[in-house]
Amino acid sequence: MIELYHIWKQYQPPRWALSDITFHVKRGDFYFITGPSGSGKTTLLKMILREIIPTQGQIIVDGKNVVRIHDHKIYKLRRTIGSVFQDFRLLFHKKVFENVAIVLRVIGVSRKEIRRRVFNALRIVNLHHKMWEYPSQLSYGEQQRLAIARAVVNNPKILLADEPTGNLDPELAFEIITLFKEINKQGATVIICTHDRDLIRHFGEKILFLYKGKLIRKEAL
């Protein structure tokens, strides 16, 4: 499903953000990626999403070499991937409902189906009662949950999440990862970057450890 071969990434010489990373994620896998800040976790996720291109190496996602995808065709790849990054990328001039619905409008889902899916996604993250508010009216944690609702509303083949529970209380953090596990059980391939050792211990099956841009350990529990 996701294959990385000898990935190197350099932003500014002489430091390498990633150094010779090779690993394969099978369809339906659930992976945690962990490691200290600055170890390359976010860079790795953005490469899978084709927001960043490696300096060297190849990345295959669902049978497609993302390094060679033309810019005008990247949207086809991203339609199959749900993503949650730390900057959230919310539309602050749009209400909560529309922030989630826009993912479905782009691919032509009917209005009735949009209402159903958006309400369900917001209910899962406990924001259905705020669907007509603007993101600026939400707390930081609520904005985080909104980003998660948008990522999962289309039942993506792949779900990428960068510290999706970083500012949530432990109870809600467990609920969010449980949601990701349910999406995984439905067939989605899930990769989550996190520092939270409790979550990893409780939910971890397959774990990648990064340190200073290097893959130092793989574990399957």
The predicted-structure confidence for 175-187, as pLDDT tens digits, reads as follows 889 888 988 998 8
Q: Give residue 217's pLDDT.
A: 80
Residue carrying structure tokens 């749900």: 82
Q: Could you give the CA distance from residue 61 to residue 16 in angstroms, rounded to a whole number? A: 23
Q: What is the mean pLDDT of residues 161-187?
A: 86
Q: Give residue 220's pLDDT.
A: 66
Q: Give residue 25's pLDDT.
A: 95
* Residue 221 pLDDT exceeds 70: no
pLDDT tens digits, one per residue of 74-102 = 888 888 899 998 888 899 999 999 999 99
Residue carrying structure tokens 């992976």: 31
Q: What is the mean pLDDT of residues 113-127?
A: 92
- Homologous superfamily (CATH) of 1-80+156-221 is P-loop containing nucleotide triphosphate hydrolases (3.40.50.300)
Q: What is the mean pLDDT of residues 133-158?
A: 91
Share of the chain above pLDDT 70, in %: 99
Domain boundaries, the chain: 1-80+156-221, 91-155
Q: What is the mean pLDDT of residues 109-118?
A: 95
Widest pairwise Cα distance in the chain: 54
Q: Could you give the CA distance from residue 66 to residue 53 in angstroms, rounded to a whole number? A: 9
Average pLDDT, the chain: 91
Q: What is the mean pLDDT of residues 123-129?
A: 90
pLDDT tens digits, one per residue of 2-52 = 999 999 999 988 889 999 999 999 999 999 999 998 899 999 999 999 999
Q: Mark out the alpha helices in 12-80 (DSSP H runs).
A: 41-48, 74-78
Work out whether strand 189-193 and strand 158-162 pair parallel, antiparallel, or are unpaired. parallel
Q: Would you state the torsion angle of the CA atoms of residues 138, 197, 85, 169, taken in this order, to the nearest 10 degrees? A: 0
Q: Could you give the CA distance from residue 36 to residue 103 in angstroms, rounded to a whole number? A: 32
Q: Could you give the CA distance from residue 93 to residue 135 in angstroms, rounded to a whole number? A: 8
Q: Give residue 208's pLDDT.
A: 94
Q: Give residue 144's pLDDT.
A: 86
Starting from the edge strand earliest in sequence, which strands make up the sheet with 2-9, in order? Answer: 18-25, 2-9, 56-61, 64-65
Q: What is the mean pLDDT of residues 213-221?
A: 81
Q: Mark out the alpha helices in the chain (DSSP H runs).
A: 41-48, 74-78, 96-106, 111-124, 140-152, 170-185, 197-203
Q: Give residue 218's pLDDT.
A: 79
